[in-house]
Amino acid sequence: MFRMRIALTAFVFLLCSVSPMRADDSLVLASGAGYKKMVNALTAAYEQETGRTVDRLYGNMGRVTALAEQSGRVDVVLGADDYLVGAGLKFSAKHLLGKGRLVLACPKGSICASVRALDDPDVKRIALPDTSKAIYGRAAREFLSSTDRLPGIKPRLVEVATVPQVFSYLVADEVDMGFLNLTHALHVKDKLGGYVLVPEETYKPIEIIAGELADCKKGSLVRDFFQFLDTPKAKGIIKDSGL
């Protein structure tokens, strides 16, 4: 427990050093690092339009949920609804941004024409995020199961912790294919050989939300931010981010 507190304190310090906490009239939004580019664009547009400020905290989702649950300093959390609820976070309001999409990607020098490429015996190693903890790992497992590729494909699967680690394996050319989410793939597409969308009907829908934490004391500011998320400008940013 003591080590956990030290780690959390260090994490808070790191995040605050990147995005220092401001006065009580600003929101504090915590998000998974995979949505950083989108969140930066959304908050920059919101700040320009309203003159209000949003302090942004980023990290892996495990750390983000721990920070939101223990620090009492976070107002809004952005991520997959199922994951956030499963982590025990309680919300007083939610705003649906869109649906997360699973993609199958390949390294530079390879071409991803279809998910049927998984059935090619020359595809020896396929990376995917943790199927028990990572939301897109679970989606990949559901896809493989619903298309009757499991358990036969299991010996070729390389399970890692997170989506960014799958990307690292692809860049290092250590795997032949890997499962990512569309938002991440769009941000790194110049470093991939390509990617294809996995059919949505083969896995449970992944709803990406911005949630107001139940103990948030800035309800009027959150409502103002959520209203902005419904504007054409915000929706354009969200759509361009693959949601």
Q: Give tens-digit pLDDT for 21-59.
A: 444 678 999 998 889 999 999 999 999 999 999 999 998
Provide the strand spans (E) within the chain.
Answer: 27-32, 54-59, 76-80, 91-100, 102-106, 126-129, 157-160, 177-181, 194-197, 206-213
- CA distances to 11, 47, 56 from 15, in Å: 6, 19, 8
CATH 3.40.190.10 segments of the chain: 2-99+207-240, 102-197
3-state secondary structure (DSSP) of residue 157: strand
pLDDT at 170: 97
Per-residue pLDDT of 160-170, as tens digits, reads 998 999 999 99
Amino acid 70: pLDDT = 78
Report d(CA 138, CA 129) in Å as an integer: 8
pLDDT tens digits along 193-217:
999 999 999 999 999 999 999 999 9
**pTM of the shown model:** 0.84
Domain 2-99+207-240 has what CATH class? alpha beta
- Closest by alpha carbon to 97, among 216, 224, 240, 235? 235
- Distance in angstroms (rounded) separating the CA atoms of residues 19 and 238: 22
Sign of CA dihedral 113, 117, 121, 123: positive
Give the model confidence (pLDDT) of 80-109 as tens digits.
999 999 999 999 999 999 999 999 999 999
| Phi, psi torsion values for 180, nearest 5 degrees | -130, 175
Please provide the CATH number assigned to the domain covering 102-197: 3.40.190.10
Closest CA to 193 of 204, 206, 178, 183: 178
